[in-house]
């Protein structure tokens, strides 16, 4: 089996809005190959952006079928380090994207 692929929030948004695009097709491929993955911060961002209760429930139900990447303090420490390194190079990236 190929490794799971962490699908970023912006890709999920495009997929859920059913845009016909390369991004949506790529997410669909990852789902069909049982490779799509998510993590808590992605779920939180998607739920926060839901427009209706029904949309929120659809997101929660759909993401039950993907791989979940568990996190601990090491992941958040590394995200902070990445943000620190990038800021020193002149790029400020939202913490959730690090």
pTM of the model: 0.80
Q: What is the DSSP code string of 28-82?
A: HHHHHTT-EEE-HHHHHHHHHT-SSHHHHHHHHHHHTTSEE----HHHHHHHHHH
Question: What percent of the chain has a predicted confidence (pLDDT) above 90?
Answer: 82
Domains contained in the chain, CATH given: 5-69 (3.40.50.1010)
pLDDT digits (tens, 9 = 90+) for 46-75: 999 999 999 999 999 999 999 999 888 998
User: Which of the four pLDDT bands, split at 50, 70 and 90, describes residue 82?
Assistant: very high
């Amino acid at each position: 089996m190929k490794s799971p692929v962490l699908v970023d929030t912006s890709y999920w948004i495009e997929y859920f809005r059913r845009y016909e695009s390369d991004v949506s097709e790529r997410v669909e491929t990852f789902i069909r190959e049982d490779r799509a993955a998510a993590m808590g911060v992605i779920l939180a961002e998607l739920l926060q952006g839901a427009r209706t209760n029904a949309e929120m429930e659809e997101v929660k139900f759909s993401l039950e079928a993907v791989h979940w990447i568990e996190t601990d303090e090491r992941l958040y420490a590394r995200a902070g380090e990445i943000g620190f390194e990038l800021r020193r190079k002149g790029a400020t990236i939202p913490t959730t994207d690090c």
